[in-house]
Amino acid sequence: MGKQLSFAALPLALSSMFTKAYGQGSTTPVNDVLNFALTLEYLEYHFYNHTIVGKDPNSAVKDVTFNFPNPTAQQAITTIRDHELAHVNLLKEALGSNARPALAYTNFDFRAGGTYDANNNYQMGGTFADVYTNYATWLKVATAFEDTGVRAYKGQAPALKGNPVLTTALQIHSVEARHASHLRQMVNAAGIPLKPWITYAANGNDTKVEAANAVYAGEQNTTQAGVEITNIAPGVTQAAAAESFDEFLTKAQVVTIANLFIKPAFKLS
């Protein structure tokens, strides 16, 4: 699970470099990209953390009791949670005073469409209403988050071209890809057939979870650099051609996906 990667010593050093090079204001393209990434990292961190501890870090009230099928699964998600928190802290340090206001667990709706009363208590409903009670549903949501993160970082890389921050963004991107692969293996271990990488499906969505179609839009592509991969040699199938290359998501596509899980007052634009 990527134990070799540690961000412990990075934030202060990188913050100094970023502030010197890109600290001119919150509207700079680099700051916009980093804040966009920070929002996604908050989303992932709070989803995993709430699953593990059952409550918001700022609350004494436990409102979720999630049952992992075994200690190995819980340890894997704990490791991923810790990675996401490291990403949050690094991006906050890099942005400094330009960082967007911190997002709390209560800013998100991980059931995707549930309703809340005047006291912010969740009422039944939502596309993933059973996300904290059904392990299969939880895995589907977690996998969609990680696959979105991988494609989102890839989509923003061109905006960082020529900037030192691109190196760090790519380091985070590769770890998100490892998370996605591991989550997909956990899905497979739970008896739901799924490869560790995205493979061919007519609409791009190999998870067969209709609500996640937007996450996988375009992943059925079998053409790269104007070359149809299935024509390169005999026996190259659509599945092989599609899964050999990963596609990116635009910022607009990611915003649409992420906003399904963010409460109205905090939605991305």
User: pLDDT tens for residues 138-184?
Assistant: 999 999 999 999 999 999 999 998 888 898 899 999 999 999 999 99
Closest residue by Cα to residue 177 from 166, 169, 188, 189? 169
Tens digit of pLDDT for each residue in 68-101? 999 999 999 999 999 999 999 999 998 999 999 9
Number of C-beta neighbours around residue 11 at 10 A: 16
- Cα pseudo-dihedral 36, 253, 42, 98, rounded to 10: 10
Q: Which residues contact 111 (CB under 8 A, 6 or more apart)?
A: 122, 125, 126, 127, 128, 129, 131
Structure tokens at 114: 């549930």
CA 196/CA 187 separation, integer angstroms: 9
CA 132/CA 181 separation, integer angstroms: 22
Closest residue by Cα to residue 252 from 156, 166, 175? 156
**Percentage above 90 pLDDT, the chain:** 67
List, in sequence order, every residue forming a beta bridge with 228; answer none if it has no partner. Answer: 223
CA 150/CA 249 separation, integer angstroms: 9
Structure tokens at 93: 């340090």
Domain boundaries, the chain: 10-192+249-266, 198-245
Is the confidence at residue 14, as pLDDT, over 60? no
Strands (E), the chain: 115-116, 122-123, 223-224, 227-228
| Domain 10-192+249-266 architecture | Up-down Bundle (1.20)
**pLDDT on residue 269:** 81
Is the confidence at residue 197, as pLDDT, over 90? yes
Structure tokens at 133: 């009670």
Give pTM, 2 decimals: 0.85
Structure tokens at 256: 């649409």
CA 48/CA 84 separation, integer angstroms: 9
Q: Which residues contact 89 (CB under 8 A, 6 or more apart)?
A: 7, 11
CA 196/CA 165 separation, integer angstroms: 28
